[in-house]
Structures are given as structure tokens and as C-alpha cells.
Structure 1
């Protein structure tokens, strides 16, 4: 897959130049002018899913297609998105076969891929522990972790490049591990979980196409067998941490403890230790990989748009005065939040949201049979030429208070409807705290010769690594 990413980089024009008015247009794959022949489509899907979308699809409201006999409808307007994921959500409760087969070995019946009564019971327990009302209690862990990261950066040689993707992965892992399992326990074991998750993602990405095109069950079983070593490593660490977290003194808060208390307070079927492990894996997957990718993209975009980086720094210094950001500072950091939101628009961490139809449905005048797929592709929707001005440009101002309103369902980085991500507020708070805290002291710069290009795996990443220099801000 690393070779595929390198090949994708060589094929594209990188980077797209800064416009004459100073607005930065970051890299994206070249777009075919028309629909690709099937062999080329499959080849590009295997290499990088972002390469298959042709120019006209960035203007269409609904895209009807098929891949090896599987009917697919892609909702690409606020109206069709709302129709599928809200008005007819009960018909599209089940995630796509691709997502289920990719994640089931790791998360089992976890919230991210479950449906029916299992999903309802799990959401009853999990949703309250990451609700917006709890962010004030969870934010101190974010502040603590980013303050430690700032000290580590200050001790680095600013002339020596480091991998920003790995840096943000380690930071996000610290935050989610300390939040899920408690401060002391999470800090001690975060590295073990990160390395196992990284190995899992490298292996699982290659099998995504198989599920999308309806591969036979034995191929999915083969992939599950290949993933067993990484799954066992992750499960062993998570199970030990859960036992320790639930046995820790009550003065050590954690999301696992909060889930246990919510489960006891509810009237549903009691959760087993396996269920707790599956939800812990889900929380880590959702709270680590996607957030790390987003923050890495933020630093890249700011490194290429010094005007925005200067605005972020000025805002952070005025509000924070050198100290790390906390929950109470978030309302006073609108530009930091706008940078995060614009980054999520350009590089949505989950570039495809796919569901399997549980019955025959009609969307936008098109009929989708039972078993067909409906998709919302944030990569397309967020760059739709009828919905966004200069859709490929990096313009954080479009998310500032007072900016022109956008159609309600044109921006879906955390999905929408009943299955909207329960950790959206957590992720937004974390990213803004990180950018403001580090951005007031540092101006990371892309390492000389480094090439950046979006590659879609389980998440949308800037390649395998993101070499940057941790320069001090003036």
C-alpha cells in the first residue's frame, strides 16, 4: 500500500499552486473527464478510492451506478442526503459490507457497525458518556496531554524533521486512552494500542474493495485470519486495561467507568466484558485515527498558508498568553475552530459513508433494490461546485461566525441522522485545543522535498508520513 501511495503521488500534479490572490489550493487527485472503464476503475479503487471520481460528479445531485452487479446510489445534494440518512434512515440502518468486514474482527458487535436492538442498547450506554455536556469534564485530559507535547516539541532540534502524522497519532492516543481508561493507566499503555491499531489498518485496507464488490464469504474469512495477530494484541491490551480501570479507585474517572455506571442505571440487557472491550475498541478507533489525521492535515494546510497560520497564532496568543488552552477558552478561539472545520471539509477523515438497503427504496426518483448500497461521499459533497464557492481552496473564513450560511446537509464530516458520530464534540474540542496551544509557540513547516497527497484507507490520510520541521514561531 505504501508503494501505491507513492505511485499516486507521482501521478498527480503536486502541489496545486497558490492562487494569485494568496489563497492556497491543497492537493487532490486529478479528475477524469468522464466515467472510467471498469478495469481502470477497479485499478484506481485498489490504489486510492479518491481517484475514481470524475469531474461531472462534483456537480451532480444524485449519482446512480453499479459495480459488478451491485446497485449503488450516491446522494450528492443536501436534499438527497437528508432523504436517505434522515427521512428514510430506518431503511439504511446497516453499515455497508465493506465497513462491517473491515471492522468486525476488531470491534465485534460494537456501536460503529452494529444495528437493530444491539445498536439501540449500546447507543443508550455509549452516547451519554461522550455527550457535549460532558466535554468540560473531559477537556482537562486534552489540555494536559497537549501541554506535555508542547514541552517535548520545545526540546526538539527545530532543524530535524519529524513525522507530524505520527506525532498527532501519539497525541490523540494519549488523549483517548487517558479519557477511556483514566489518566495513569491510559498514559502507561497508549503506545501499545497505537502500534497494534496501525498494523491492523495497514492489513485491512487492502480488503476493502473485496467487500464493496460482493466477494465470496471465504475471502472475508481469509482476511479475518490474516488480521488475527493484530486483533489479539489489541484485545489483550484492552481487556487488561478495562479490568484495571473498573478496579481503580472511584476518584480516577474514565469513560469505561462512566459506561459501566450508565449500564447499571439502565434497564437493558447487562453488557458483558466482551461488549465493554468492543466499545472500548470502537471509542479508540473513532477517537484516535480520525482525529490524528485531521490534526495532521491542519498543520499541513497552515504550513502552506502563512496568513492563516499568523491569524491562528495571534488569536491564540491574545486568548492564552502562553498557557495551554482549556475548555473555557474554546468560545474565544473561533478561528482555531474554523481551521478545523475547513480541514474537515477538504479532507473528511471518513471519505465515504455507505449503508446497505434493508428494503427497496426510492431516492431522487431512482429505485434501489434491497441489498443495494446508498452512499454519501463527503469527499464529493464537500467539494460540490454548486454548494461551495472555490470548493477546492482552503478558506477557513467560510466557517467563521457571520459567514454566509450553507445548506444544512452539505457538510457531514461526522455523518448525520440517527447514526451521527457520538464523539463529534469531543473531537472538535480536542483539535481546537491542540491547534491553539501549539500554534501560539510553533510554526511547523513542511520538510524540504516532502510530498503530500491524500490517500483513502479506513481514513483519509496525507500519505504514510508527513515530514515537518517543528520551527518556533516568531
Structure 2
């Protein structure tokens, strides 16, 4: 949340008042999902959640902001506004750039995320899933987050950078991702030069990553567009990328691709474990697809119900749960003027669960995505974002997640060890915590009790 500054006009929009000194900072930091939900339900479609922060919740306004064909919003910091939110991260990456700089970087990477990568992803994730699932013994208890995370990280690094990463290299990347996510749990943003234990961990991981990338840059795969499309695009860029630019692009692409897919699969598995009929339908659909003598990507396209399960899981537990932009000029929503320099936020968690836009909004209903005659309102569903800045790898991530869900449920039924221990952890992504499952045969899993 933005801090107050003298250069940004104070808002005159209704919203929660918070505490006398900290305002809404404490409530947001301690439980952002509940805070944003209550703010939206109590104050309407345009809510002041801070002295210079506004939450938009109506699909019409969300689409208008994210698509933004008039250039009224910026992901980069507006001159004169607080640097706190922008001071951490990977500033040279496409995802953290804006304007012409962002377009140049997007154009450089876009051709890599082609149909060919999607086709490759389908086969790679199938092979990696078999490797992981063959190690699951019936009756064993598995930490689903840990296993899926390892699997998806191997898949993402191979898709983006070919086979130039060793197992030890993947471990270094995993440690960096964990350190960044851990830092994101810190409610107070300190200057980067303050050597807190979390910052020290990130610095150490970044040094190790620099060594990995320096070695990868000399790999023959850096010149192979087919086997390592993203690595080739980065290494053949003109002008040549600096080590900082290469590292920032790599780190953000891996974190976005790995974390989104991982969280989506774990949340979907959590929901299927509570809904055995839906899990059985996914399993039967996977059986039918497996019998087809066709490439993995073609079999994946027949997994219509499994795709609906994934979409419903990402409605209820979107890995990207909040998105913000800064106003470059005064804008107006629902009759409220929002001055230049204000941070405008939209939340997938809030809007995806709004009963005005989804019937039985808090229930897991995959069937809602099978009725093409009743699509959701535009702007009401945006797990991968909307507009020109929508996720560059959405099709690849969807392919990975659908096939992995199919492979898990084709082999096993998953029984939650302790449903009450599962909770969302809203950091950079909405991470599932406490999803431990007992591995059962498909035909022997007992029906779980109804979730609260």
C-alpha cells in the first residue's frame, strides 16, 4: 500500500478509516484477503483503502483499467509518488518495465511463447509427472506443495532454457524463489541496503544465480531457438543484455511461470480432494485421453472438464490475487475522481468471489465453465490479467496445469490429511499452505466430510 506524500492529492472517496496512526496498514498487512473483501462489500465498487490507494471491484472498471488503451496508468513509479512499492524486486525485467521499454522487451520475448512451446510443454510435463508420481507409494502422506513445486520448476526451466540447467542449478533457483516469497511476507518495506536475514538470503541466491547464468550463456543451447527459445531470445538481443538485465528477466519469468502453475495445481487438487465426484470425472476423462494415439497436446485439448476444474480453482484461488497501477493523470470511476499519482488496485480474490457476477460464488462448481451460452461478465474473471499486459505464458501454464491434474487423478485419489490446516498465504502469489495428502487407490478413497 502506498504511503502518504505531499505531492499526491488526498482522496475524497469512502472507505475503511482504520487506526488512528497506521490507518489501514495494520489490517491490510495482517489479513489482506479479509480486509479487501470487507472493504469492497461495505463501501462499494470504488473504495479508498489508504490515503492514496483505491480499490476497484466492478468488472467494467477493472477491464477499463487493465486494458487501458489511452495510457492513463503505469506499472512503473509515477514521479513524485512513494518509491516503497517499487524499491524491491527486479527492475530490469519486462514485467516491471513500462512504456516503450516494456514494448521492446515484450516484443523480444513474445515469439518464444509459441504453439511450439505449448506442444513441448504438454510432453515435458507428462514425462516429469510420471517421474514424480512413480515415487508415490499407496498410503503414503505427501506434501503436495513441495512435490508439485519441484516438478513445475523442472518443467519451467527446461521449457525456457532447454536442458542447460542441472539439478543443482534448479535447486539454486528454488532457493531464490523461496527467499523472494519469504521477503514478501514482511509488512514493512526497508531500504534494500539494510542487511536483514531475508535480504542476505536473497543476495546469496542472486550471486549463485549469476554464476549459473554466466555458465548457461556459453552453452550451445543459447544459440538453439527450438530447444531453448527464451534463452536464445535473451542471448541474441540487440543491444546485448547486461548481466543484471539477463538475471532480472530470468528470475521474473521463472517465478511467474513456476509459481502460478504450482499454486493453481495444488489449489485444484485441494478442491478435488473435497469433491470426489469431480475427481472421478477428471480421472475418467484422463483415461479416455490416454487411450488416444495422439500427441500430448492434442490429448490435452480433449480434457474439457479438467480445464473447467482448473478455471474454477483459479476463480476461487487465483495465484495472482492483486494487481496495481499508478495513475498518470486524473481518472474517474463511478462518479469518483481519482487524482494523478494514486495507486489503483484490483483484486482477483475479491471480484472472482463477488456473488453479483458468479452464482454460488463461494462454491466449487466447475460446470459453470462448460456452458458456453452463459460466459462470465467481461472483466469479472482475470487470473492471467487482461489487456496488453496479460500473462505472456498463459497458454503454456494452462497446458502444464491441465495435464498435471489429469496425470495425478488418473493414477490416484488424494485424501486431505487435515483440511482445517489448509490456508492461503497471500504473498506475491496466493500460495496454498498445509496441503498434505494421503495417496489412495482411485477406487478405495473414502468420501471426505463436507468442507466448511
Normalization by structure 2: what TM-score? 0.84
Deviation at 1:44, TM superposition (A): 3.0
Corresponding position of 2:435: 466
Q: Tell me, yes or no, if structure 1 residue 166 matches structure 2 residue 146.
A: yes
C-alpha distance in 2, partners of 1:256/1:228?
28
What is aligned with 1:147? 130
After TM superposition, list the pairs within 5 Å mapping 1:310-329 onto structure 2: 310-321=280-291, 326-329=296-299
Q: Secondary structure at the match of 2:423?
A: coil
C-alpha change, 1:96 and 1:399, in structure 2 (3 Å) is farther
Q: Which residue of 2 aligns with 1:195?
A: 175
* Unaligned runs of at least 5 residues, structure 2: 1-14, 444-452
State which drifts further: 51-60 or 161-170: 51-60
Tell me what 1:20 maps to: none
Q: CA offsets, 1:409-443, max 9 Å, x none?
A: 11000111121111111111110010011210011
1:309: which partner in 2?
Answer: 279
Alignment of 1:93-132 (within 5 A): 93-95=74-76, 105-132=88-115
Deviation at 1:131, TM superposition (A): 4.0
2:393 is aligned to: 423
CA distance in 1, matches of 2:82, 2:95: 9
2:354 corresponds in structure 1 to 384
Report the TM-score, using the length of structure 1 for normalisation.
Answer: 0.81
Structure 1 residue 178 corresponds to structure 2 residue 158: yes
**Are the counterparts in 1 of residues 413 and 442 from structure 2 also a CA contact under 8 Å?**
yes
Cα distance in 2 between the residues matched to 1:125 and 1:186: 26
* Structure 1: gaps of 5 or more residues: 1-33, 212-218
Q: Distance in 1 between matches of 2:240 and 2:246?
A: 10
- The answer to whether the Cα contact below 8 Å between 1:360 and 1:369 also exists between their aligned partners in 2 is yes
Out of 415, 427, 444, the position equivalent to 1:445 is 415
**Cα 1:138–1:56, aligned 2, differ >3 Å: closer, same or farther?**
closer
Which residue pairs with 2:237 in the alignment? Answer: 263
Which fold has the larger relative contact order, with Cα–Cα distance below 8 Å and residues 6 or more apart in sequence? 1
1:303–1:467 distance in 2 versus 1, CA, 3 Å:
same
After superposition, what is the alpha-carbon deviation per residue over 1:154-189, rounded to whole angstroms, capped at 9, x for unaligned? xx3x33322111111111111112122222525442
Contact kept, 8 Å, 2:217 with 2:235, in 1: the verdict is no
Match of 1:234 in 2: 205
Deviation of 1:96 after TM superposition, in Å, equals 6.9
Shift of 1:316: 0.4
What CA distance in whole angstroms lies between the structure 2 residues aligned with 1:396 and 1:381? Answer: 17
State yes or no: 1:295 paired with 2:265.
Answer: yes
RMSD: 3.0
Distance 1:438 1:403, change over 3 A: farther
Which residue is 2:4 aligned to?
Answer: none
1:204: which partner in 2? 184
Matched residue pairs, number? 422
- Offset of residue 364 of structure 1: 2.6
Q: Give the Å deviation of 1:279.
A: 0.5
Instruction: Give 1:11's aligned residue.
Output: none
Between Structure 1 and Structure 2, the one with more helix by share is 1
- Within 5 Å, give how 1:23-34 maps onto structure 2: none
Determine the C-alpha separation between the residues in 2 that align with 1:145 and 1:427. Answer: 15
Contact 1:176 1:288 in 2 (8 A): yes
CA 228–59 in structure 1, closer or farther in 2 if over 3 Å, else same: closer
Runs of 4+ in 1 over 6 A off after TM superposition: 96-100, 322-325
1:272 aligns with 2:242: yes
